[in-house]
Amino acid sequence: MPQLRPLRLVEMQLTARKPQDHTWLEEGADTAETPHQTMMREYEARRCHICQCKYPSFGFGPPLRASGATLWSCLPHRDEVDRIARGVSPGPAEQQPRLL
């Protein structure tokens, strides 16, 4: 058991040291939101306009939308949201997708 003695000494040294001073982290912290945080918050808020699924792949905004708001769509609802964004109603020959 002589091998455990050095290990025990190292363990005692690690646990007995003073806690580190982390006040310098808080002093330099800026409370203003960074552009990255703003972008990530907007990305997390995106939802498909039809089914509300997270992280949709397609966005329909200006110049398709006069209001300037962007409509988001997942792949299965891409065509439907595209029609909504352009203000075009589906023709009579086109079948409406079934809602489960």
Residue spans per domain, the chain: 39-90
Any long-range contacts for 64-73 (C-beta under 8 Å, 24+ apart)? 72/46, 72/47, 72/48, 73/48, 73/49
pLDDT band of 26, cuts 50, 70, 90: low
The percent of residues in the chain predicted with pLDDT above 70, rounded, is 65
Give 11-18's long-range contacts (Cβ < 8 A, gap of 24+).
Answer: none
Give burial (CB, 10 Å; 0-12/13-18/19+) of 67.
Answer: exposed
Query: How does residue 7 score in pLDDT terms, banded at 50, 70 and 90?
Result: confident
CA 59 to chain centroid, in Å, comes to 15
CA distance 88 to 65: 12
What residues contact 68, with CB distance under 8 A and at least 6 apart?
Answer: 61, 62
Window from 21-25, 49-53, 54-58, 93-97 with minimum mean pLDDT: 93-97
pLDDT category at 73 given cuts 50, 70, 90 is: very high
Higher pLDDT, 32 or 61: 61
> What single-letter amino acid sits at 93?
A
